[in-house]
Homo-oligomer: A and B are copies of this chain.
Amino acid sequence: MSSMMRVQWKVLLFMFLVIFSKAISDKLESRTSVPHDSPSYCLGWRVAVETNNVHGWRTVPSQCLLYVENYMLGGQYERDLDVIMEQISCYLKDIVLANDGMDAWILDVDDTCISNLYYYRGKRYGCDPYDPVGFKTWAMRGGSPAIPAVLGLFEKLIEGGFKVLLVTGREEETLGQATLDNLYNQGFIGYERLILRTSAYKGQSAVLYKSEIRKQLVGQGYRIWGNVGDQWSDLLGDCLGNRTFKLPNPMYFVP
């Protein structure tokens, strides 16, 4: 290459870099204020909820009602579950169990094993505030359907030799029997224990209560390989387990 050509080539490269870098920079700066009722806002809100960037939210922003309905019923919710189940399957392949009966896996119950979508439909997918009496009435009926992807995981874990521990914030006294029946009727059969909230933990935050339960389980010798829940309060605190997996739930937040 002649030195003239080299110079021309460098000039061309420099011009390209300047123009391109300007284009990227313009792109980054074109922050028009997107209305809060746009699907892109609601997607941003949902991802912020899923990443635990939004804390202590009480209701779904009402302008996102249709977005959340479409997310839950339109297929993306199941798609997101499938992607997570694939990740869990990859992780499971590498686990070598001691087979001493202490290899454990924790699953949350509400909107992890069984779905309250039907109930929350009547609460405008979480746009209405939490209604403890209404929810208890619903839970006592014991009619929450299994979430198929998680039932599949549950069966895989049991076949694989894990002790499956179901840990829920539901009150043992009032919801114990209904929850047992509901899980049984939906095919959750063969788990090690269902741990419900006894009066000793009444009023405690889910993070504290579930941490305490997991500490006891680890104290009993269980090795918690995985911990799956739809709430960050399932997946924060102590003795979390070797891997945690956050399932989607844009409808409510449990503190």
Contacts and interface: CB of A to CB of B under 8 A. Distances in A.
A10 interface: no
Contact of A76 (B43, B45, B115, B244): B43
Interface string A75-114: 1101110111001000100000000000000000000000
B83 A48 contact: yes
B121 A40 contact: no
A248 B87 contact: no
A91 B52 CA distance: 13
Contacts of A136: none
B83 A145 contact: no
Nearest to A117: B24
A243 to B, nearest CB: 7
Interface string A49-62: 01111110000000
Nearest to A40: B79
Nearest to A45: B83
Interface of A: 20-21, 24-25, 27-31, 34, 40-41, 43-45, 47-48, 50-55, 73, 75-76, 78-80, 82-84, 87, 91, 115, 117-118, 121, 143, 145-149, 243-246, 248
